[in-house]
């Protein structure tokens, strides 16, 4: 099984580390040729996780996406959701034939309000049975430091998901299987929105007591949405307290590594959205996601009052303190 990684950010770099630590040769699409030259010479990514070093004999790097796709059996997509269409627009409609795709993005295409699998189906007629998602809770920085972490691999075909997951298990990383492919992707999107809210609360100097109640209520709200968004039979029991749901929500709301929490913290301290984006210098997926989920929740007819207030703060100029006064009254 030949893996190709599309993207060179922190999460893409962490996934490249995991695979090469398992002695896998990988194909790696990196847009910037200067980055390729630096990794070739210095053996680390100059922009992300630069403490993670690579055996260059295991890296086949290129700025040509069609070449990387052609050379790979399994494609791990790890570019921000806002750049998916631009990245894939150069490809022929048959470019993904015979490939498996693993989504490592935690967002929704903002201009189309689509999950990656929905975009691939519409654009490339890609079969969801060959589509998988890899999720946390798992911060790239802790992978680079080889701190014990857990990755969830989700797919309708659990045998294929298990096969893919087996290549990622290391001494510092365990793998978990899941088949709720729509639910886990939306959980990864929603937790970023709630993490922005957690960051705003911190910026407003709310304490841990409030934050614990806020997260508990956010988890309940998230589950209501996930039950509506599932592909499979509603009667089947899903453990929403599992790591891909509650676990990822908790770490994204609490961890100092969380870029969405950090973004929210700046908003809570009075930064404008534009200034926070410039200051962060990385994509916080929860910002665009808040707008997409605001619309999607109405399509699904599910109430998300906490997420709606965060959307109002980020997109409709709702004053931060006023918004959190409203959230205070919602919590139980």
pLDDT in tens, the chain (332 residues): 999 999 999 999 999 999 999 999 999 999 999 999 999 999 999 999 988 999 999 999 999 999 999 999 999 999 999 999 999 999 999 999 999 999 999 889 998 899 999 999 999 999 999 999 999 899 999 999 999 999 999 999 989 999 999 999 999 999 999 999 999 999 999 999 999 999 999 999 999 999 999 999 999 999 999 998 876 555 578 999 999 999 999 999 999 999 999 999 999 999 999 999 988 877 788 999 999 999 999 999 999 999 999 999 999 999 999 999 999 999 99
What pLDDT does 237 receive? Answer: 81
CA 9 to chain centre: 12
CA-CA distance, 261 to 270, in Å (whole number)?
14
CB atoms near residue 234 (< 10 Å): 8
Q: Check if the beta carbon of residue 235 is closer than 8 Å to that of residue 248.
A: no
CA-CA distance, 226 to 245, in Å (whole number)?
10
Radius of gyration for the chain, computed over Cα atoms and rounded to the nearest angstrom: 19
CA distances from 280 to 266, 276, 283 (A): 9, 6, 8
| Contacts of residue 239, Cβ cutoff 8 Å, sequence gap at least 6 | 245
The pTM (predicted TM-score) of the whole model is 0.93
CA distances from 205 to 67, 80, 199, 214, 265 (A): 50, 30, 10, 14, 10
CA-CA distance, 205 to 56, in Å (whole number)?
46
What pLDDT does 71 receive? Answer: 97
What pLDDT does 284 receive? Answer: 85
Q: Check if the beta carbon of residue 176 is closer than 8 Å to that of residue 234.
A: no
For 183, counting Cβ atoms within 10 Å of its Cβ (0-12 exposed, 13-18 middle, 19+ buried), the class is buried
Residue pointed to by tokens 């659990």: 158
| CA nearest to 225, candidates 243, 238, 210 | 238
What pLDDT does 232 receive? Answer: 58
Containing 232, the helix (H) or strand (E) segment is none
Eight-state DSSP code of residue 243: I
CA-CA distance, 215 to 211, in Å (whole number)?
6
């Amino acid at each position: 099984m030949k893996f190709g990684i599309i993207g060179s950010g922190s999460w893409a770099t962490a996934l490249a580390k995991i695979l090469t630590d398992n002695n896998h040769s990988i194909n790696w699409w990196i847009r910037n040729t200067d980055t390729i030259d630096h990794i070739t010479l210095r053996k680390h990514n100059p922009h992300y996780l630069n403490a993670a070093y690579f055996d260059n004999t295991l890296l086949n790097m290129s700025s040509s996406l069609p070449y990387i796709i052609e050379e790979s059996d399994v494609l791990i997509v790890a570019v921000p959701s806002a750049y998916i269409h631009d990245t894939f627009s150069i490809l022929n409609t048959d470019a993904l034939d015979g490939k498996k795709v693993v989504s490592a993005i935690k967002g929704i295409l903002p201009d189309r309000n689509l999950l990656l699998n929905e975009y691939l189906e519409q654009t490339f007629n890609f079969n969801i049975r060959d589509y998988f998602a890899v999720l946390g809770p798992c911060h790239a920085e802790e992978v680079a430091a080889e701190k014990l972490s857990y990755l969830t691999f989700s797919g309708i075909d659990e045998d294929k998901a298990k096969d893919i997951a087996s290549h990622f298990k290391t001494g510092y990383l365990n793998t978990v299987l899941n088949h709720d492919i729509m639910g886990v992707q939306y959980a990864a999107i929603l937790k970023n929105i709630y993490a922005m809210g957690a960051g705003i609360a911190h910026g407003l100097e709310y304490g841990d007591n409030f934050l614990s109640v806020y997260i508990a209520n956010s988890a309940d709200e998230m589950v209501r949405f996930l039950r509506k968004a599932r592909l499979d039979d509603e009667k089947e029991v899903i453990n929403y307290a599992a790591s891909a749901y509650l676990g990822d929500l908790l770490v994204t709301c609490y961890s100092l590594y969380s870029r969405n929490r950090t973004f929210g913290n700046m908003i809570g301290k009075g930064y404008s959205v534009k200034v926070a984006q410039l200051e962060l210098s990385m994509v916080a997926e929860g910002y665009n996601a808040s707008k997409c989920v605001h619309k999607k929740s109405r399509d699904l007819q599910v109430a998300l009052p906490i997420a709606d207030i965060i959307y109002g703060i980020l997109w409709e100029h709702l004053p931060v303190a006023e918004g959190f006064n409203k959230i205070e009254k919602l919590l139980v």
